[in-house]
Structure 1
Amino acid sequence: MADAYIIDAVRTPRGRGKKGKGSLTGIHPQELLAQTLQELGRRTQIDAADVDDVVVGVVSQVGEQGSNIARNAVLAADWPLHVGGVSLNRYCGSGLQAVNFAAMGVMSGAQELVVGGGVESMSRVPMNSDGGEGDGMNPHLRRKHPQVPQGISADLIATMEGFSREELDAFALRSQRRAAEAQRECRFSRSLFAVRDPETGAVALEKDEFLRPETTMEALAGLPAAFEAAGAHAAGPNGETLDQIALARFPREGGIRHLHTAGNSSGIVDGAAAVLLASEEYVRAHGLRPRARIRSMAVFAEDPVIMLTAPAETARKALRKAGMQPADVDLWEINEAFAAVPLQTIRRLGIDPERVNVNGGAIALGHPLGATGAIILGTALDELERRGLATALVTLCIAGGQGVATVIERI
């Protein structure tokens, strides 16, 4: 199979995802993505007319993010009318899945130049805006596979793994400190560009604004459990609480310790990202200098109740395809949806924690659902170059029990 080369990766800063509070809340998500596409074109100097397709991850596909935001962003970016766009939803893995689908088009020989990326304006289109409640409200499916909110799944994982609140908070503090250090040292600058108000041209945001560098263990310890009340909510057909629904699948635990808080869970933010992938033939014909290649990709799924455990097995699958072992990976990006997720993945795979999320993660920087996978792929590539390393593995947990992973290798 042919190679898919990463020519470049760009992203917006991540803005606070609270209406009227964040610097990007006044900007339509189509415009966030359109500016990202324009920046990608400027940096790479490619002819946008050559782009075969634009594949975009977005989770809440309703309202301003509905009506195929990929195609509308292409139009808003003033790219040629013949360039198409398609939107996809693999929940939190959508941005990375979009990159993977773009790479598949190139690797198959069907396409030569494809953009993969993602966008999510969580301030303007909040989580669960599509009204599907995670399972499409299908009572037949609910009897077969009842599902619970992700926070309860995260607390169940922490309970099963025996993680303490202190361990979760320590991981969160590390994320904050590493992200703050990375921002001070301008490690994100290679991918970042300043978002501008489309009406005035004024800079709206030029750096990630969700970070809380003043965070302490004492402050984290004082935060209340975020999902305890939800766990006590009666949601089953016979009055079962959400905790009881989860424990019916995992009865050996006996109870769920609610340990995740706003401080050790991912932040709600706005953002967009785009990655340009090209075939070897296109690279040679146009004198491009690729930064990396896609070495392997994988999707894997596990129990939808516990939901967030798939990154470890998904990573193993991607590594098998690449002929690698976990120890062969120089840097890991494991999305910090909740602190228990990367901690469990590190434990399952025996990863050196010093290779994981070295510039912090979504706990500190935020998680713009449909964009995060594409964002952290670019973060991994930038850091590989900064350190002079070769390989990175990017993986995310996904609602419904799925995982997605990609191995990249520098050229």
Structure 2
Amino acid sequence: MKKKVYIIGGLRTPIGKTNGCLKDFLPEKLAAFIIKSLIHKYKLQRDSIEEIILGNAIGPGGNIARLSLLEADLPFNTVGTTIDFQCGSSLKAINLAGNLIRSGQRNIVLAGGVESTSLAPNKQYNPRDSRYKGKDVFFKRAQFSPCSIGDPDMIEGAENTAKYCNITRKAMDTWALQSHIRALEARNENKLEDIICSIQTDEKIIKDDENIRRNPSLKLMERTVPILGVHGTITAGNACSTNDGSALIIMASEEAVQKYNLHPEALWIDGESSGVDPNLFPLGAIAASKKLLKLYDFNIDDMDFIEINEAFAVKVLAFLKYFNYPEHRVNIFGGALAYGHPYGASGGIIMIHLLEALKYNNKKRGMATLGVAGGLGESAIIERCD
């Protein structure tokens, strides 16, 4: 019999634009702030936390999870593990934490991710590497796939997917507008106030997600120029921005719940990964979700709500088209097109939003999923506790 894995709760920072409100915060400081906030809110004993697992995609390297937990004053014997699964990193971290607890190796793990695009280091290949282009030339992303297969930039992969799935620019612009409207409504009605931790600085309090447009309109979306030329469909309006932020959840075994008198919000049912053609990487969310649903003999309609990372509107629309899933049950508070995409933290953000969607609407089961650079997908299913 599989051991139960509980989600006690989760928190995130406000999401800042690149070079915006969080531009001066080291990523380990952001993660440490959320770790401390979780300990305070859920009255955790510091020495009960056995491991911190963090996703991070574009930091300076090293083990940022270990650095973050030490910044948070956790004991030296606390394990820190960092995962680079690109924009699926923090959901991968959550799924790994779930399996560690299910196997009996851990009882309490904090899992999620952190990203600072504002402080991303310049990276350069070694002069002996064939990809080296000169001492003043830096690369923005690592190679994800052999050139013989195709190693498209994210925008190229999104364009390929729009063409492959016959998804129009108008449909993408319309979805992006809806994302902003939903996010604006969620903020105006304080629907996410319980999971966003305000950050106090010497000058101000940072409490709002910086990226949400105050007056979104379809006309504004339609004016944006295609990024890859006049025949393209992907624009700055239907693609996400780059951002800073951190998000973590607390995961615990049944033994830990009883021992520390914790009050779980949900059960982590399971998670799955899958691979697809790197040239069509947005389809990774479909592949991972299919695999996970089949594992438990679920139908897509068994999911009351779904959170899909909106790196591009086409990713969500391809998912909806494949599964014929009702759009009013996806990203009900808006998605990354509105909030932004702090790569390594985005899986944690959508998981926390999923928890809130289920709680807010008194529903039972949901799924979080992402399509990932290089042709990967990551999904997880949770169920609210009664």
Aligned to 1:340: 314
Alignment of 1:227-242 (within 5 A): 227-228=228-229
**Residues 218 and 380 (structure 1), Cα distance of their counterparts in 2 relative to 1, 3 Å cut:** same
Q: 1:384 aligns with which of 340, 358, 361?
A: 358
Note if contact 1:32-1:195 (Cα within 8 Å) is conserved in structure 2: no
Residue matched to 2:49: 51
Deviation by residue 1:213-246 (Cα, 9 ceiling, x = unmatched) = 31211111111112339xxxxxxxxxxxxxxxxx
1:60, 1:128 within 8 Å by CA — same for their partners in 2?
A: no
Indicate the SS of the match to 2:186.
helix
1:82 and 2:77 equivalent? yes
**Uncovered stretches (5+) of structure 2, i.e. residues with no partner:** 125-137
Alignment partner, residue 16 of structure 1: 17
- 2:287 is the alignment partner of 1:292: no
The structural deviation recorded for 1:146 is: 2.2
* 1:202-221 to 2 correspondences below 5 Å: 203-221=204-222
Classify 1:126/1:168 alpha carbon distance in 2 versus 1 (closer, same or farther; 3 Å): farther
CA distance in 1 between partners of 2:361 and 2:165 (Å): 33
Q: Is the 8 A contact 2:273 2:378 kept in 1?
A: yes
The match for 1:92 is 87
1:407 counterpart = 2:381: yes
Equivalent pair of 1:51/1:114 in contact (CA under 8 Å)? yes
Match of 1:40 in 2: 38
d(CA) in 2 for partners of 1:55, 1:112: 13
Give the alignment partner of residue 147 of structure 2, picking from 111, 128, 142. 142
TM-score, length-normalised on structure 1? 0.87
Shift of 1:203: 4.4
- Over aligned residue pairs, what C-alpha RMSD do you find? 1.7
In the superposition, relative to structure 1, how do residues 33 and 269 fare at CA in structure 2: closer, same or farther (>3 Å)? same
Q: Which of 140, 149, 155 in structure 2 is aligned with 1:151?
A: 155
Letter in 2 for 1:51: I
Task: Find the aligned partners of 2:141 and 2:245 in 1 and give their Cα distance.
Answer: 23
**Does residue 1:170 correspond to 2:165, yes or no?**
no
Deviation at 1:132, TM superposition (A): 7.6
Note if contact 1:97-1:404 (Cα within 8 Å) is conserved in structure 2: yes
How many positions carry a matched residue from both structures? 371
Q: Please tell me whether residue 184 in structure 1 is matched to residue 179 in structure 2.
A: no
Amino acid at match of 1:142: C
Identical pairs, percent: 30
Structure 2 distance, partners of 1:265, 1:282, is 41
In structure 1, the residue corresponding to 2:359 is in which secondary structure?
Answer: helix
1:288-319 deviations in Å (ceiling 9; x for gaps): 11000111211011001222211112111111
How big is the shift at 1:160? Answer: 1.9
Partner of 1:365: 339
> In the aligned structure 1, how far is the partner of 2:342 from the partner of 2:121?
10
**C-alpha deviation, 1:322, in angstroms:** 2.8
CA distance in 1, matches of 2:172, 2:244: 25
Following superposition, the deviation at residue 79 of structure 1 comes to 1.5
Q: Distance in 2 between matches of 1:119 and 1:73?
A: 10
Whether 1:31 and 2:18 are equivalent positions in the alignment is no
Task: Note the C-alpha offset of 1:383.
Answer: 1.4
Distance 1:31 1:99 in 2: 20
